[in-house]
């Protein structure tokens, strides 16, 4: 019987990175997890159940991260297309805030 701890650890690390908005290793996790595909049929039912739960949790975190990134992109696009916005100073006086350059890469 094969031990599922390495797979479980990878899924745990993936979720941790997603929750911390560290997306730099997502492709690496995917490649590493693929190396274990041949081992899955050798796992016992309890290990498979644990992996299924962790995989579902990982998928939910990936979906939430993607949704958040899309929302951020939309917001940046809205801000970039706006000509100006109003803001208030500490005395409650409204002032125009030019938005030129917001959302552009430096």
**15: confidence class by pLDDT, cuts 50, 70, 90:** very high
pLDDT at 6: 93
Mean confidence (pLDDT) of the chain: 87
Residue 13 has pLDDT above 60, yes or no: yes
Q: Provide the residue ranges of all domains of the chain, joining segments of one domain with +.
A: 5-98
How many Cβ atoms are within 10 Å of 38's Cβ, its own excluded?
9
Q: For 16-81, what is the HEC assignment?
A: HHHHCCCCCCHHHHHHHHHCCHHHHHHCCHHHHHHHHHHHHHHHHHHHHHHHHHHHHHHHHHHHHH
């Amino acid at each position: 019987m094969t031990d599922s701890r390495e797979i479980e650890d990878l899924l745990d690390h993936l979720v941790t990175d997603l929750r911390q908005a560290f997306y730099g290793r997502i492709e690496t996790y995917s490649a590493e997890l693929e190396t274990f595909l041949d081992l899955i049929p050798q796992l016992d039912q309890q290990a498979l159940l644990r992996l299924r739960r962790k995989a579902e949790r990982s998928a939910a975190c990936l979906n939430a991260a993607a949704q958040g990134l899309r929302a951020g992109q939309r917001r940046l696009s809205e801000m970039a297309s706006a000509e100006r916005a109003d803001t208030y100073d500490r005395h409650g006086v409204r002032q125009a805030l030019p938005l030129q350059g917001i959302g552009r890469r430096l």
